Amino acid sequence: MIKIGMLIGERYEILEKIGTGGMSDVYKAKCHKLNRFVAVKVLKQEFSENENFVSKFKVEAQAAAGLMHPNIVNVYDVGNENGIYYIVMELVEGITLKKYIEKKARLSVKEAISIAIQVSMGIEAAHNNHIIHRDIKPQNIIISKDGKVKVTDFGIAKAATSNTITSNVMGSVHYTSPEQARGGFSDEKSDIYSLGITLFEMLTGRVPFNGDTTVAIAIKHIQEPIPSPREYVPEIPISVEQIVYKCTQKSPDRRYQSMGELTEDLKRSLMTPDEDFVKMADPDEEASTRVIGAGDVKEIKKQVQKRSSVTGDSIRLRKEVEEERSRKKKVKTTKQSELEEEDEDEEYDPRMEKIITILAVIAAIIIGVIVIFLVGRAMGVFPSGGSEQQTEVNTEQSSQENQTENEAGGFLSGQETVGLPNVEGWPFAEASAKLKQSGYEVAKEEVFSDTIESGNVVSQSPQAGTQLKSGEKVTLRVSLGKEQTQVRVPNVIGLSEMDAVVTLTEAGLKPGEITQTTNDDPTLVDMICYQSYSVGAYVEAGTAIDLKVSVGVGESTYSFVGSIAGPGEEDADYVSGTETIVILSTSAGVEIHRTTATAFPLNLNVTGIKGAEDGIITFVYTVTLPGTTTTNEAGEIITIPGVTEERRVNRAVRFAKE
């Protein structure tokens, strides 16, 4: 059982829990051997006695330990102590790509491509070591505070061999490739598909396929074509759209064949985004949209049930499978009826074809006669039936012309009025796409909201149900989330003391205590090397940020020179002249000096104190409490003798830097 404060591997002190996953928990720890903070991933206790889980956990450790790349969370150590299986890895301070997308609603094209390049380079390094991730998704991509992108959690990665590998894990269904969804062979190109879905989400703020159940979403990955990201964000360049298309082809053979190829196209799209340079494979039968068969559905359900047995959601997922089975049965019945009707319609009858031909000829003759009559009448060949009849004909003709004009103006030029759909609560990208498909213009206004999630529609104007003509404007008020009363802590590491103070002030903060300290980085001499709040953290405006200025490499020394008053300041029972032990120690409890005194103030001069700015003076002495007398109910006098007890008083002090 992991507890805060415990030491594992004789060097890693567990400090706090910072995350949890399906089968492991992640803790922040301090490595006392190398004096650095690390992340420790520990297999959950309920799984540690399961041989299958332990085996999978060991595979993860062995696979990840062989990877060293700037865009991968590096693994430092693996171990097993008293049934506790753990992996020690690089501690990356930042946020996941998923939270970053949610925070910004969607990313700019350049930012999305830049992140995708770093991710692809990290995964390429894994592929070069014959390791497939199999669970690429924004939740497994971390953006550090300095902007570095790192891939993490090789939780279901396995070392690839020359043999066929069958994945028994669905992964996250919104990002899973068609071959993973079917439970079949998966290789490096499965990671390419998942990265394509991740790129789609970065660009649009949404995933391409959604559904009520995991099974329904998996089926969409297999048989539905991916929508164009330009449907949601029209300004996406054609090259970026084509990269997404190529990554997410149903057939692995039509995707990029390596992460290196994908990286090259991503880099080229940064330079010439509007150039149509992406080479797509020729269409073939295998790559076309596939109608899912009964075997595929059975396999998908099998994979989902396997996954649910791991996560403990078997009851819920089994219910989803049954619902999907029922829905598929209804769809099958409906499609069967449609096919039967089509078969009946397509039956060929020669006699019917002959009759239709004769009727068509007769209709053509009648139309020709009418046209000749109307033209002749207009030229005066055929007399009219009088002024009243002419007036009636003209009126009727005028009425018909007006009706035709109205129909042309209404239906032919798209001006019919329809009821405005309700998109309140929808993500903006989806709401905008829905309204544009209905023929409306969309305007966006951003507002703060305490109840609506950031990026979703708070309200619409006009309201839902309003009769509007196609082409009219609809204004969507989109949530920015709760109004921030806090400010973001800037990075002042590496700045001079004056520049740091200015930066904090401009950010709405104020400098706290500024002290000097040593630092191992020689480039930070006379610069800020420490700030009391992490970069990017949100704090209340006006918060004081403590700073430390580096005085160079090496250990600083301090001294204490002063006159110490007796413990009577803290303890009224202390009697002057009592023999008292005076102990000077660091705030960490390391004793520096000890003496005995009977008179105060005591002058003390201690130099060469290492590695501590703060200290404690401890007074140890005895106090004799006088006896008392009392009378009981019988009138007897009872004497309670005095007692002597040892007392200890602590007083905080500050050392001076030498």
Residue 16 has pLDDT above 80, yes or no: yes
Residues 6+ apart with CB under 8 A from 10: none
Stronger pLDDT, 344 or 492, i.e. the higher one:
492
Residues 6+ apart with CB under 8 A from 427: 205, 206, 455, 456, 457
Mean pLDDT across the stretch 494-510? 85
Mean pLDDT across the stretch 303-311? 45
Q: What's the Cα-to-Cα distance from 522 to each of 77, 130, 492, 525, 529, rounded to whole Å?
A: 28, 39, 17, 6, 10
Mean pLDDT across the stretch 2-21? 88
CA distance 365 to 576: 134
Residue 391 has pLDDT above 50, yes or no: no
- pLDDT at position 246 is 96
**Is 153 part of the annotated catalytic residue set?**
no
- pLDDT at position 168 is 36
- pLDDT at position 118 is 93
Stronger pLDDT, 359 or 278, i.e. the higher one:
278
Which range (110-119, 254-263, 625-634) has the least confidence?
625-634
Given 3-state DSSP classes, what are the helix, strand and coil percentages for the chain, each rounded to the nearest 5? 35, 25, 35
Mean pLDDT across the stretch 496-504? 85
State both tokens at 142.
């971390």
Q: What percent of the chain has pLDDT over 70?
A: 76
Cβ atoms of residues 301 and 282 within 8 Å? no
Stronger pLDDT, 291 or 420, i.e. the higher one:
420
| pLDDT tens track for 140-175 | 999 988 888 999 877 544 433 333 333 333 347 899
Angle at 429 between CA 423 and CA 430, to 5 degrees: 45
Mean pLDDT across the stretch 341-365? 60
Q: Tokens 């990840």 belong to which residue?
A: 64
- pLDDT at position 395 is 39
Residue 358 has pLDDT above 70, yes or no: yes
Angle between helices 238-247 and 109-128 (to 10 degrees): 30
Stronger pLDDT, 585 or 381, i.e. the higher one:
585
| pLDDT tens track for 434-488 | 888 888 899 998 888 878 888 899 999 998 888 888 888 999 999 887 766 678 8
Residue 123 has pLDDT above 50, yes or no: yes
Cβ atoms of residues 563 and 601 within 8 Å? yes
Residue 77 pLDDT class (50, 70, 90 cuts): confident
Residue 137 has pLDDT above 90, yes or no: yes
Residue 366 has pLDDT above 90, yes or no: no
Beta-carbon count within 10 A of 334 CB: 10
Mean pLDDT across the stretch 608-630? 86
Mean pLDDT across the stretch 327-356? 51
CA distance 89 to 63: 13
- pLDDT at position 344 is 42
Amino acid letter, 410: G
Residues 6+ apart with CB under 8 A from 452: 425, 458, 479
Catalytic residue among 135, 153, 265, 296: 135
- pLDDT at position 112 is 94
Mean pLDDT across the stretch 489-513? 87
Cα maximum dimension of the chain: 152
- pLDDT at position 392 is 41
- pLDDT at position 309 is 42
Q: What is the DSSP string of 39-57?
A: EEEEE-GGGTT-HHHHHHH
Residue 352 has pLDDT above 70, yes or no: no
Residue 235 pLDDT class (50, 70, 90 cuts): very high
- pLDDT at position 298 is 57
Residue 233 pLDDT class (50, 70, 90 cuts): very high
- pLDDT at position 251 is 92
Residue 340 pLDDT class (50, 70, 90 cuts): very low
Mean pLDDT across the stretch 358-384? 69
Mean pLDDT across the stretch 190-216? 93
Residue 21 has pLDDT above 80, yes or no: no
Beta strands 441-447; 473-479: pairing state: parallel
CA distance 4 to 188: 39
- pLDDT at position 347 is 44
Residue 396 pLDDT class (50, 70, 90 cuts): very low
Stronger pLDDT, 658 or 329, i.e. the higher one:
658
User: Which candidate, 194, 207, 175, 204, places its Cα nearest to that of 112?
Assistant: 204
Q: What's the Cα-to-Cα distance from 637 to each of 294, 599, 625, 634, 643, rounded to whole Å?
A: 100, 39, 20, 9, 19
- pLDDT at position 503 is 85
Cβ atoms of residues 439 and 414 within 8 Å? yes
Q: What percent of the chain has pLDDT over 90?
A: 31
Stronger pLDDT, 486 or 318, i.e. the higher one:
486
Angle at 23 between CA 22 and CA 24, to 5 degrees: 105
- pLDDT at position 354 is 62
User: Which candidate, 547, 487, 553, places its Cα nearest to that of 511?
Assistant: 547
CA distance 496 to 524: 9
Average pLDDT, the chain: 79
CA distance 260 to 189: 12
Three-class SS of 121-183: HHHHHHHHCCEECCCCCHHHEEEECCCCEEECCCCCCEECCCCCCECCCCCCCCCCCHHHHCC
| pLDDT tens track for 584-594 | 998 888 888 99
Residue 322 has pLDDT above 80, yes or no: no
Which range (78-87, 136-145, 350-359) has the least confidence?
350-359
* pTM of the shown model: 0.47
